[in-house]
Amino acid sequence: MKYIRNITIVVLFILLLNESVKAQIYNEGREAYNVRYEVLKAPSYRLIYPIKFHSEALKLSNFIDTIAPYVAHGIKSPYYSFPIILYTSDQYSNGMVSLLPSRADLFMVPSASMTSTPWTKQLTAHEYRHVAQISALKTGVLKGASYVLGDLGVGIGLVIIPKWILEGDATNAETQLTEYGRGLQPSFSIEYRAMMTDEAKKPFNKYYIDNLILGSYKNHIPDYYKFGYNMIRSYETHLSNTFSGELFQYAARNPYVISPTYFMTRKYGYKNVKKFAQMTFANLDSLWRPLSRCNNNYDYITKSERSYTVYQYPISIGDGRVIALKKSMDNSSHLVLISGNKEQTIAFVGNLSSRPIYRNGVIYWTEYKSDYFYELKSSSVIRSVEIDTKYRNNYRKDVNSFLLTPTPDGWATVRYDSLLHASIILSDSSFIDRDTISFDLPASIHGLAYDNYSEKLYFIAVDDRGMWIGSAGLSSDHKMDVVRFPSAVTLSDLSASDGKLYFGSIQSGKDEIHMIDLVKGQEFQLSKSRLGARQPSPLGVDSVLMTGYSVEGWNIATISNHISDSTQHVSWQRLPNDILNPDYVKWYSSKAFDTIVPDTTLKQVKKVKRYHRSSDWFTFHSWTPGIATDFDDVLSDYNGRIGFGATGLFQSPLGDFQGYTTLGVRNNKFWTVGKIDYSTLPVVFSLKGEYGGGVARLYIPTDKSYSVEKYGELGNAYDIVATMSLPMNFSSYAVLRNFTPMVNYIRTGDYIYDEETDSFVTGLDKWEASISYSSYKSYSMRCLSPRLGVSIKLGTQRTLQDNFSQIYYAKLSAYLPGLLKNHSMVITGSSQYQHLGDYGLFSKTYVPTGIIDNNIYQKYHYVAGTYKFPICYPDWGLDRYIFCKRLFTEIFAEYSHGAFPKEIDESNVNNVSYGFAIGIDVSTLTSSNQNVKFKIAFPNSQSTYVTFSYAIQI
């Protein structure tokens, strides 16, 4: 028993180093340097936010105080003090809680597509449940570990608890605390409902449960949020109403068990998690299967492919032609033109922020775009492509735009102000602003359409009352009316034509196509689907384009818009028909908080003051007693520099200042390493110093030799590296482009032989300057590397000492398509010229695998080719331990040519290496995707060379 426990602790420690250190030290990016912050200090959190967001931050703080006792359902421990950072410059809606350092990042701009719950409230309920989870983990044994390891000690709990538990529990929290939250939405279960009706998938097979937990490259699998939500609700219904809280506290007391979920499931009488999952989904199947036996009342115009395919936003452009957005497991998002049975690719696109529209031969859409310098200052820009010429264009890069909609004499878009309150902006045909339509109450907008019959704009809005449809006139007074009253019914994808509004609605209990006849003032349900239908748009005067779901994905279909006796009339109701959700138990303290209107009153227990970034720069959050390491090695998958000692990590909550410091013994010598990164400005500064841990390098003229007996052993090594870089992001459409100029200065403790004194001089000053450029086209999830792209780096290395060499180098990598689908090829080449002085530099761009080459060449060239492709998708593994999702191979060949100066040696050195690598993409039931690769090379200078690598995909 003792032996087993020791093995367990060793395995846990390996997981700790790889998963907890690498995955939890996460930095979303940088916020612009000119953003000024305030901090609101409450007893259990600090709220850090831009000064301009003051009033909304106070509302959010009071909302957190209101929901905090309820979000902590089942968790007995008090809240762990957390900084919560609000970001308002990033247009991409998101949120996350990370541990190293502990903080919550909330991105406040609402998504164009969401439920009837206001985004701020949904986001806060979800992320604050993560805070409660971490608070529960900081008890018992893990609390003691946190005294030794800092936040890293609590991180052990996040290693041994699966992601589907963490995210499923948080999704459950936001669902429990809202009227009709994310987990109750028909779209949240539609993928599972489709799989349940597909007998070939055998979703209850015990091996298929691994797919549901860990995903697959072979078949489309819903994300772990959805699996986790259904499991948590089932745990709470069938085992304990406070199951997740008990699980977190059990993990905190017993971290050595590795899989606390397994033992907690057994505690309540189930053999293992898989058995419980089979029971859970069997119950869901008994509910869902009868509801999926109806026939669709629409006709498909696209056919399902072998690869799971999603068509989105179909638009008729006349003559029977349709424009749509398409994505599959074998291809990234692209706009297609569909004409009969033929499809033509128009353009590959990036991450859309709202739907595409069509006008006069041109497709327009809005797309997220990163700032040139700051990752957390993204924007939502208008882009276009002409169908015939494929010519692309961008508009109004200086403003953020959503839900672009054509009007008779221009355009309408949605824009958010500094408090993230939405307005509708009217502009002319050149996108120059002319007028603004404002709302009486703060709202977010999630649909926008113009109707030619009523000559009005219609919109879907969300505020504290719920989701509703309104109209606004284009005349100067912009008279606003309510068309559909606020409710908890999720509405989506608004379009309009000829006095009729089309949109998706979940009122029936499924995603269906609805229509409001503006003349009759009545709402009708047009579609009746087996699984779900969405994204309607007019197709002439008689029909509607839409998408319908099947197990193969979303396909484009048509449906009549005629009202008959069989067409279902829809009356307003506050809540949808809840037909797809089992009678899960509710929290004892469950309340709907999404309709609360928080005030801006500052309670006396809180203090607000100006936040200075530098106040948190040196916040040490984690320690590794007993282990001294250069942390750059850990983050770059290089594990060769480890000694005995301790490493401390620090990072500011905003991520603009971070670093580490190490003290220890390595190679029986004192060793210390320290590094800081400062990234508030566009220019990123880095300073790193290292002393000891090995002997210094030695430089001697080529005609001299070194003798330990004559000169003695060299002293400790040291290096001081100062780096300045300017990373820039020029990504657009489906192409990721980065450009980075960089310069660094290196002072080393290297020994240089002095011929005049026949002794050694200590200290070498080097500097390097380079420019790097990369451009990659986005690629599918099944492909191993980009299939089209290029990477270039030009640079020089020099020393301040005149008698040393100077190096000039160039590197080029070209990414090309392979012979078959999802095959890719990489061609790499480099060329280096060293203007030799009395002392040469050892630096080389690349060396063939398995070759040891310490020669100093005047000219050095390298070329290599690698061909990569997936072999198969096993989707098989050992229960609870490891699951193999993809087997792939790489075939490579490398050649290098080194030429000495003719006055020294007229011979050349040619090295060749070739071989192959076999890789496996795996997952474990307690961690994320991992990659294991065995590489076998056959170099010309030695016997077979075998390497092994392991990496975690964050």
Q: Give the integer Cα–Cα distance in Å for 633 and 8.
A: 25
Closest CA to 571 of 525, 510, 523, 501: 523
Tell whether the torsion through CA atoms of 201, 204, 207 and 210 is positive or negative: positive
Q: What is the pLDDT of residues 364-392, one digit of tens each?
A: 999 999 899 998 889 999 999 999 999 99
Rounded to whole angstroms, the Cα distance separating 790 from 786 reads 9
Written as six digits, the tokens of 263 are: 């033992």
Q: Give the tens place of pLDDT for each residue, 887-904.
A: 999 999 999 999 988 766
pLDDT band at 575 (very low <50, low <70, confident <90, very high): very high
Predicted local distance difference test score (pLDDT) of residue 634: 66
Positive or negative, the CA dihedral 635, 638, 639, 642 is negative
Mean pLDDT confidence for 191-200: 80
CB 511 within 8 A of CB 534: yes
Listed in sequence order, the residues at least 6 apart from 477 whose beta carbon sits closer than 8 Å to its beta carbon are: none
Which pair of structure tokens corresponds to residue 153? 């000690």
Cβ atoms of residues 336 and 598 within 8 Å: no
Mean pLDDT of the chain: 88
State the residue for tokens 């529960």: 136
- Convert the pLDDT of each residue in 856-884 to its tens digit: 888 999 999 999 999 999 988 876 678 89
Quote the pLDDT of residue 5.
35
Distance separating alpha carbons of residues 312 and 327, to the nearest angstrom: 9
For residue 774, count CB atoms less than 10 angstroms from its CB and return exposed for 0-12, middle for 13-18, buried for 19 or more.
middle
Q: 37: which strand partners?
A: 50, 611
Residue 660 has pLDDT above 70, yes or no: yes
Angle (deg, nearest 10), helices 224-238 and 273-291: 100
Angle between helices 2-15 and 151-160 (to 10 degrees): 110
Average pLDDT over residues 22-30: 57
Is beta strand 607-611 parallel, antiparallel or unpaired with respect to 37-42? antiparallel
Kindly indicate the confidence band of residue 636, based on its pLDDT and cuts at 50, 70 and 90. Answer: low
- pLDDT tens per residue, range 905-950: 667 899 999 999 999 998 876 556 788 899 999 999 778 899 887 7
- In 3D space, the residue among 790, 783, 786 whose CA is nearest the CA of residue 820 turns out to be 783
Closest C-alpha among 944, 935, 785 to residue 867: 785
Residue 785 near residue 779 (C-beta atoms within 8 A): yes
In the prediction, which pLDDT does 24 show? 43
Ranges assigned E (strand) in 667-800: 669-678, 684-695, 698-699, 716-725, 728-729, 735-754, 759-777, 789-799
Strand 45-50 to 82-87 pairing: parallel
Average pLDDT over residues 316-340: 93
| Crossing angle (nearest 10°) for helices 151-160 and 119-137 | 100
Amino acid at 359: R
Which band of pLDDT confidence, cut at 50, 70 and 90, is reported for residue 743?
A: very high
pLDDT band at 12 (very low <50, low <70, confident <90, very high): very low
pLDDT digits (tens, 9 = 90+) for 465-481: 999 999 999 987 888 99
Single out the residue of 120, 684, 635, 119 nearest to residue 375, CA to CA. 684
The dihedral of CA 429, 435, 437, 443: what is its sign? positive
* pLDDT at residue number 640: 55
480's enclosing H/E stretch is strand 480-487
| CA angle in degrees (0–180, nearest 5) for 362-363-366 | 135
Place of tokens 């907890």: 20
Sign of CA dihedral 692, 696, 697, 699: positive
Return all residues near 706 (Cβ < 8 A) that are at least 6 apart. 698, 700, 753
With 0-12 CB in 10 A as exposed, 13-18 as middle and 19+ as buried, what is 420? Answer: middle
pTM, 2 dp = 0.91
List 515's β-bridge partners, or say none. 502, 524
Helix axes 224-238, 243-253, angle to 10 degrees: 100
- CA pair distance 491, 493, nearest whole angstrom: 7
943 versus 263: the higher-pLDDT residue is: 263
Q: Give the model's pLDDT for residue 755.
A: 78
234 phi/psi in degrees, rounded to 5: -70, -40
pLDDT of residue 32: 85
More confident residue, 10 or 30: 30
479 backbone dihedrals φ, ψ, rounded to 5°: -55, 130
Cα–Cα distance measured from residue 871 to residue 889, given in angstroms and rounded to the nearest whole number: 7
The gap from C-alpha 578 to its chain's centroid, in whole angstroms, comes to 32
Residue 297 and residue 289: Cα distance in Å, rounded? 18
pLDDT, greater one: 453 or 199: 453
The mean per-residue pLDDT over the stretch 489-517 comes to 96
Segment 193-201 mean pLDDT: 75
- Higher per-residue confidence, 824 vs 763: 824
Q: Which amino acid is at 139?
A: T
Output the CA torsion 94→98→102→104 (10° steps).
10
The residues, ordered by sequence, that sit 6+ positions from 217 with a Cβ below 8 Å of its Cβ are 329, 781, 782, 870, 873, 885, 886, 921
Is residue 770 within 8 A of residue 810, CB to CB? The reply is: no
pLDDT of residue 737 exceeding 80: yes
Q: Specify the range with the lowest mean pLDDT, choosing from 144-158, 235-249, 637-651, 781-795.
A: 637-651
Give the SS3 label for residue 342.
Answer: strand
For residues 143 and 72, give the distance between their C-alpha atoms in angstroms, rounded to a whole number: 18
Q: What is the mean pLDDT of the segment spanning 740-764?
A: 87
The residue to which tokens 């009153």 are assigned:
601
Q: What is the CA 161 to chain-centroid distance, rounded? A: 20
Contact (Cβ atoms closer than 8 angstroms) between residue 14 and residue 22: no
- Give residue 23's pLDDT: 39
> Using H for helix, E for strand and C for coil, what is the string for 67-79?
HHHHHCCCCCCCC
Q: Lowest-confidence range among 400-414, 415-429, 554-568, 619-633?
A: 619-633
Would you tell me the crossing angle of helices 224-238 and 206-214 to the nearest 10 degrees?
Answer: 120
Label residue 527 by pLDDT band (50, 70, 90). very high
Nearest in space to 107 (alpha carbons), one of 118, 117, 94: 94
Mean per-residue pLDDT, 642-651? 89
Alpha-carbon distance of 294 to 285, in angstroms, equals 15
Q: Would the pLDDT of 836 be above 60?
A: yes
pLDDT digits (tens, 9 = 90+) for 678-729: 999 999 999 999 998 877 778 777 666 666 666 666 778 889 999 999 999 9
641-644 long-range contacts, CB within 8 A, separation 24+:
641/666, 641/693, 642/666, 643/667, 643/671, 643/693
Q: What is the DSSP letter of 881?
A: T
State the Cα–Cα distance between residues 237 and 167, nearest whole angstrom.
18
Which pLDDT value is given to residue 76? 87
Looking at residue 515, its pLDDT comes to: 97
| DSSP letter, residue 92 | S
Report which of residues 793 and 941 the model is more confident about: 793
Whether residue 633 contacts residue 640, with contact meaning beta carbons closer than 8 Å, is answered with yes
Q: What is the pLDDT of residue 33?
A: 85
Give residue 635's pLDDT.
63
Q: Are 891 and 866 in contact (CB under 8 A)?
A: yes
Q: Which pLDDT score, from 0 to 100, does residue 843 have?
A: 80
d(CA 509, CA 497): 26
